[in-house]
Amino acid sequence: MVSFQTPEETLREYEKRLSRQSWDLVKELIHEDAVFIFTESTFRGRDEIRQAFEKTFDLIKEEKFWITDLNWVAEADHLASCEYLFNWEGVIHGTPSSGGGRGSSVLIKTNDGWKIILEHLGPPAK
């Protein structure tokens, strides 16, 4: 298991691993008690979050995910919060597709390094 020294290192690694579409690569960056809020539902704990990610991985092939306009709102010794724009592109049912929106994440420092404990992804601002 790799341990990242800063919340930004963890978030940037998460961004890279999401594009590899493997839950096994992503899960070590997510706190076991995490809550992820997506447009379709709220997922609590790694088991529910895994199901949501695997559903997305099955739907969107060759997905690339990236973050822009990253802004750290608060940082302390054991907790950090940020907001950003997220983007994705991939292939859905053979058709090139893309999208994005706004996101926010809270990371917590554990004995194993920084972990994402909350993620909220939603549509772009109007």
Q: Work out whether the CA dihedral 117, 89, 73, 112 comes out positive or negative.
A: positive
Q: Which of 2, 6, 9, 11 is nearest to 116 (CA)?
A: 11
Beta bridge partners of 66: 87
Mean pLDDT score, 27-52: 96
Query: Distance between CA atoms of 83 and 70, rounded to whole angstroms?
Result: 6
Residue spans of the domains in the chain: they are 7-122
pLDDT at 1 over 60: no
Residue 4 is predicted with a pLDDT of 67
Mean pLDDT score, 29-33: 97
Please give the mean pLDDT across all residues of the chain: 94
CA distances in angstroms from 60 to 9, 22, 27, 98, 124, listed in the order given:
26, 12, 19, 10, 20
**pTM for the predicted model, two decimal places:** 0.92
Domain covering 7-122, topology: Nuclear Transport Factor 2; Chain: A, (3.10.450)
Q: Which comes out higher in pLDDT, residue 35 or 112?
A: 35
Query: Distance between CA atoms of 50 and 99, rounded to whole angstroms?
Result: 21
Residue 3 is predicted with a pLDDT of 65
Q: Nearest 5°: phi and psi at 112? A: -100, 15
